[in-house]
Amino acid sequence: MTKKTNFASFRFAFEGIVHVLKTQPNARIHAAISVAVVLAGLWLELDRIEWAILVVTMAVVWVAEFVNTAVEAAVDLATEEHHPLAKIAKDAAAGGVLVAAILAVSVGLLVLGPPLWARLFGGQ
Q: Which of 108, 16, 8, 14 is nearest to 68 (CA)?
A: 16
101: Cβ contacts below 8 Å, ≥ 6 apart: 30, 61, 64
Active-site residues, by number, are 65
**Angstrom distances, CA of residue 65 to CA of 31, 38, 68, 117:** 11, 19, 5, 30
Q: Which of 107, 35, 99 is nearest to 67 (CA)?
A: 99
